[in-house]
Amino acid sequence: GVDPNSANPGAGEIDIINGNNGRDTIVLGDGSNVFYSFSGNSDFADIQEFQTGRDTIELTGTLGDYFFNSDNTAIFLRANNDLIAEFTNGAFVESDLSFI
C-alpha cells in the first residue's frame, strides 16, 4: 500500500487492491497528493473486483483533473497524462468517484 507520509506517495509502486465483499473506499489521494502520480505508467493501483454502485474511488482535486479510457477501466491524471489506476474484472462510472 501507499505510505501517505512519503514525499511521493505511491511512487514506483504497483499495488494490487482487492474490492472483495462489502462497500469499499479505495483511496487514491489524500487531499494534498495524488497517489501514483510520479513515475508515469510505472506506478499505479491495480484495482480488482471493483463493484460499481457499491465501491467508491477517492481522489484528490476535481473531476476535471482526471481523464479516463473509453471503457472506464483506467484513471489518468490530466496534468501529466499519468496512469493512476487500472481496473481488473470491473469498471467504474463517474458516480463511483468522490473528491477531496
Walk along the chain (100 residues) and give the pLDDT tens digit of each residue.
888 888 899 999 999 999 878 899 999 999 999 999 998 899 999 999 999 999 999 999 999 999 999 999 999 999 999 999 999 988 999 999 999 9
**What pLDDT score does 45 carry?**
97
**Residue 97 CB partners (closer than 8 Å, separation 6+):** 56, 57, 59, 63
Domain boundaries, the chain: 14-99
Closest C-alpha to 74, from 51, 52, 90:
90
**What pLDDT score does 90 carry?**
87
* Spatial distance between the Cα atoms of 88 and 94, rounded to a whole number of angstroms: 17
pTM: 0.92
SS3 category, 69: coil
